[in-house]
Structure 1
């Protein structure tokens, strides 16, 4: 039956396709390892993204790829690449800008007020699904402006993601010109460097003084423990939980809240504001929660 189905799929357009059975195996693997749910409607998307990987491995069909992954002990080596392929990495500078306005107007001032006895306190911000780093560097720009305005504090920013590809982009901190359009002109002048020779698609890079304050590390949110500080002031986990089921959402949020200092803030995407009643937080703004 499986062979007949595969033959029928090939006849439709003359190309090899990922079978429903093999897609189900990949979906189960990714769900167990990364918490990302891949419904059947995502099969063609996964297939399209895997074609480049097949070429890199010099494999001629999806059947041979799945044979390599599931039956020839290739899983351990291939899993990071497979996760990179299926991960959706949508990010923008100043995405959901009201969160950054609230950070400047309320969150940071109140956090600093609670630490008034400390000299030059260190604020810690964690972008928990950082993708290519746009969110982390947006936070860095906002906080750097506040420091320049006499904020009297230091800051460090951690960006984590499961995809090694996007983490490498975050470390490099180079972005196409069209991606930095949402960055205010005043910040572009202070925090971005332009290539001397503008090409067809000019790029810009975050200035070194901000790059030094942002670190990137790989993290699977499905891990039982996160090897990071437990006195974080602000954690951003925006537009990620939609890819997890309800049980995994609750586990991830509970683990992240455990890394917030009392009074610290958790920021979710606006479509992810319902996080349950058993978690020790209170809602202070749309999709913004404070640890109590």
Structure 2
């Protein structure tokens, strides 16, 4: 159940289809192409192929074309309906991939949807792993993602040649759906950290404290976190170009609250965070990085936002 990365392995390079070349998918596909794999990408908007082609990959005009002949199919799209469309649509993976293809879904979606899709994949002769990631755009660009993987141990081992090149911490956490469950927990923790950091920034600013100095010392103590390290510059500079959009985190917190209700557990902080994220979207911040929760704290405090 632990990380089984085996760097330096000697193995023939694989033919890989990569569906979804957005903020996260594009650098991941590039890493695989740079590693020598034969990578064919498909994106619903055709203006995303430049980095992959520069790395030696190629583009396809459809999902069907991309997955034809591919040994491994990687998927990185926004939400549960998107994954379902990619896999089960008329032009989709199940209809056109080669038998026994290994499908790695890096998207963050509902655990119950993943379980349904894994069962359908198995019935059709495919192998499906749910492998949502954490680390944001920086983690994708630096091949330093944390990847939580659900599925069989055998399929997890078979996917190592992909995971080795896109992730740093790669852990098999259980059967199908387990990866998505752990990712939901991850998103709960990240949102809580961002909200607390936002409140701390506005709080120290209200007393005229040097915020940069404050964050430096906070980062060196128990309050330090990956969130503080990665998001401090966003908050100091009020620059919220999306590494991970509020729209997507809103979706993920919906997954958290729904799954918690289904399992009969209480997530009061998660419920509050879901409301704060929804408020940010209602104020037009959905396309901004999730560190823009800071703007919500400023609004609630009667301070101008930038």
Asked whether the two chains share a fold, i.e. TM above 0.5, the reply is no
Whose helix fraction is larger, Structure 1's or Structure 2's? 2
TM-score tier (shorter): under 0.3
Could you tell me the TM-score, scaled by structure 1's length? 0.27
Q: Which has the higher contact order (CA 8 A, sep 6+)?
A: 1
* Higher Rg: 1
